[in-house]
Structure 1
Amino acid sequence: MDKQNFLLRNFSVAMGVVHKLLYRVTNAKLYLCIGIVLCTMTMGFTTYFLRHGLDSNYNRVIKSEGFQGKRSFDIENELFAEAELMSKSSLSTATVVGKVFAPPTVRTKNYMDKIIYNRVGKCGSRSMLSLITRLSSRNNFLFYASPVSNRTRVPLPESIKEVQVINNLPSPSIYSRHIHYLDLFKYGISGVVYINMIRDPIERFSSQYHFLRYGDGIKAQGRRYEPWEGGDKDMDINDCILKNHQLCTAGRLFYVVPYFCGQDFLCHRPSKESLYRAKVHVMENYLVVGYLEDFTGMLQVLEKLLPQFFTGSLKLWKDISADTMINTSTLKKQKINETAYAVLRERMEIEYDFYNFVKTRFRIIKKQMEIFDDDEAL
């Protein structure tokens, strides 16, 4: 037993004996005063002995490891370098020269190896699908595009089945479906990365309004799943808005936010609560959410954040964009006049709040990654 430990143990025993003697003192004030003094002395002596004991051990390490004559800063650097080297082995905790270092975060082979793209309708999703399909063969990953396209809200049993599909996909893979946000953590799934892209709300609504009626360059017919009533199919979009037709009212205009809010009932109706939850999910659970008006910027960000999947995406898009945009462009789009636009803008206040939030966040991400537009780089 070394000298410091011997003195510390005997000092502690002595303090215990004195404490028992003082317990017999009947004068409470005197007992309190003496007790405070003894406590102070105990803490002081304990700190002194512990410090000298650790310093002695540290000095022995310095001598035994050949660190004599070196500055303390250099010694600490060497110790941490050795700890980092040991942490790369299979050890869960590395003990280096008397100091314990917590293991670093381990990036397993599944690190950001599974991506969920719960694509929003008429927000460039088919252009992105075309791009990802080609990239999957070039970059050697699996792309799973769900055959289900018209069920964005799913009951619990179906949610569980969909989560099982996602969980069973091999790595690396990208999963895609028109579906509102699924809280995978609730189902015990972790390590999955969400991405998405949105669009100016009125432009998105106009594109969908005409797409459901007339289709696009790929298929020149409407995509509505139920028969049209009366003259609804050929109704002018301005008349739909100004006459307050049910197809152009607030309930039908609340479209993008639910994709990020989730499957809960409160996400089905426009409210401050649904908007707030959507923003929280974007901040906490989405790696990045871009917007269609800056599609190439989105590809630049994805190339840097997820190179395993999106390396070469920008060049590929330049090669295929002309044909892709012709094929996916909505047919017979009518222009929204100023009066109808103003009415629609007011009805879509929550959608625009969310859109502007996403735009601001995406621009910050681009700036952090030193991705600038041509005019910004000047």
Structure 2
Amino acid sequence: MANKKILITLFLITGVLIICYVYVGSNGSLSYGEGTSSASGVLSIAGKHKVGPKKKPITSRKPKLEWKEYWKHIEERKIMGFQDEGKNVFEETNKVSQNKSTEVVGNVVNENKKVVEPPVNTILSKPDKVIVGKKKWLYDWNETKEGVEKLPLYGNWEDTTAQRIIFNRVGKCGSRSVLDVFKHLAKVNKYNMINSVIYNQTRTSEEKKNLLVSVLLKVDPPFLFQRHLHYIDFTKFSSSYVKYINIVRDPIERFTSQYYFRRFGDGKNDKSTRPFKGTEEEKYQTINECVLRKKFECSRNKLQYIIPFFCGQSPQCRFQDRTPLEIAKKNVERDFIVVGILDELENTFAVLEKMLPRFFAGAVDYMRAPGNTYSRNRSSTMTNYKESPSPEVHAVLMQQMSLEYEFYHFIKERFEQLKSQLGIGTTK
């Protein structure tokens, strides 16, 4: 009997303990509550609620993005060949500036103090205009993406009134002597001069053309870019103010100079001079022999040289046809501020001074000054061993280069009108 009472007592005690255990567990004893309590930072202990410190929800606030400017130039970033179009350059820049533990001094320094070189694409975003030390005015560019970072790319691309000039110089029209004047004036008049180191390619691929346009529209104006280059219509890429200047000469004189320059160079013989490709007999063949023997180098197809510099990059511009001539004339009237004449070089600089004083103020005085680099280089750039064509060959070339001469006379007439309007005489 006693054993039975003991068993019943133990059974009741066990039942009470089970009920208490279930009750306490269901009320969250010594555990974080679920649902609203967890989100609000409320702690439940044995059914009693104590309010602890609230945890701030983790949010991802993005800085205000300059979307208008970003989308305006996203296509140009694609032209440059960048692979990070999914990222926002402006957003990444703002994140760096918000991180107080990160310093930016030319390069980006991360939290581990390791120097990270800025990627090439960041130069296309609009950085602060900060110039340290002496300002540089002359820049050489090999027209590659790798060489872009050396250029002064902090210009205001929205400024359509800034002066951006391209000197797409025609070969053997005195341009190497002219460049000595331009380089001097860049330092004196304080404009950026970008010198292409592509010497013997007048045409360019579509990819290279897009790169060239995209980069030049970022160069800090005023600037002057020079290269032997067939005309590119910048209005097809941007509304930015980009204009041209050039200098031409008598077509037969230019062809003769080029013919002998390819064989013997000149007094400079710098990087722009290439070794002659041909036999010894071909090298020492005179221009008269070349024309009368109807060699390919002197054939009709090789004689249209000046017009494409004003017509454009299209293969059509190299055809012996009136269409390229008319296109070239229209482009001159629209996009060329000055096309000077080599035989009137001093007057050409006088016109440039009047039309573009920001660039060419002081050009004539510098030309006339004795002992300057222009005077020394003028004689050193004269073509060696040059022999003038005979009257017979001259007549043949005149007939074959009739379109070149029509364009040349058009340029001369326009230049004379410009001189008259500016009150510039005909001094030699």
| Alignment TM-score > 0.5, same fold | yes
Q: Does 1:359 align with 2:412?
A: yes
Q: Is the 8 A contact 2:160 2:239 kept in 1?
A: no
> Over residues 277-311 of structure 1, what are the superposed CA-to-partner deviations in whole Å (9 max), with x where a residue is unaligned?
00110011111111101111110011011111101
Q: Out of 93, 118, 123, which is 2:168 matched to?
A: 118
Say if 2:397 is the partner of 1:344: yes
Equivalent residue of 2:384, what SS? coil
Higher Rg of the two aligned structures: 2
Which shows bigger deviation, 157-166 or 270-279?
157-166
Corresponding position: 1:257 with 2:310: no
1:308-354 Cα offsets, whole Å, 9 max, x none, are 11010001111234312111111100121111111111111010000
Instruction: Give the secondary structure class of the aligned counterpart of 2:281.
Output: coil
When residues 187 and 225 of structure 1 are mapped into structure 2, their CA distance, relative to the original with a 3 A threshold, is farther
Structure ranking higher in helix proportion = 1
Output the aligned Cα RMSD. 1.9
Counterpart residue number, 2:358: 308
Answer yes or no: is 1:157 the counterpart of 2:210.
no
Q: Percent of aligned positions with the same letter in both sequences?
A: 37
Specify which of 236, 241, 254 is matched with residue 191 of structure 1: 241
Partner of 1:370: 423
Q: 1:161 & 1:301 partners in 2: Cα distance?
A: 32
Question: Aligned partners of 1:147 and 1:125: how far apart in 2?
Answer: 14
Query: Aligned residue for 1:215?
Result: 265
- Consecutive unaligned residues of structure 1, counting only runs of 5 or more, are 1-107
Gaps of 5+ in 2: 1-157
Alpha-carbon distance between aligned partners in 2 of 1:111 and 1:128, rounded to the nearest angstrom: 26
Q: Whole-Å Cα distance in 2 between the matches of residues 154 and 374 of structure 1?
A: 39
Q: Is the 8 A contact 1:275 1:354 kept in 2?
A: yes
Distance 1:165 1:297 in 2: 33
Matches within 5 A, 1:229-244: 229=279, 231-244=281-294
Q: Which has the higher contact order (CA 8 A, sep 6+)?
A: 1
Q: 1:358 to 1:238 in 2, by over 3 A?
A: same
1:333 to 362, 386, 406: 386
CA distance, structure 1, for counterparts of residue 272 and residue 313 of structure 2: 27
1:1-378 → structure 2 map (5 Å cutoff): 111-219=161-269, 223-224=273-274, 227-229=277-279, 231-319=281-369, 320=372, 321-374=374-427
Aligned residue pairs: how many? Answer: 268
Residue 201 to residue 164, structure 1, CA distance change in 2 (3 Å): same
Quick check: 2:232–2:312 contact (8 Å CA) kept in 1? yes
Which amino acid in the other structure matches residue 342 of structure 1? A
TM-score, normalised with respect to structure 2:
0.60
Q: TM-score, normalised by structure 1?
A: 0.68
DSSP-derived class of the 2:266 partner = coil
**Which AA in structure 2 matches 1:362?**
F
Superposition deviation, residue 225 in structure 1: 5.8
Q: 1:189: how far off?
A: 4.2
How far residue 265 of structure 1 moved from its aligned partner, in angstroms, is 2.3
CA change 1:145–1:189 in 2 (3 A) is farther
Give the letter for the 1:195 counterpart.
Answer: I
Structure 1 residue 174: Cα displacement:
0.3
Q: Does the 8 A contact of 1:200 with 1:355 survive in 2?
A: yes
Shift of 1:112: 4.8
SS at match of 1:120: coil
Q: Distance in 2 between matches of 1:230 and 1:374?
A: 43
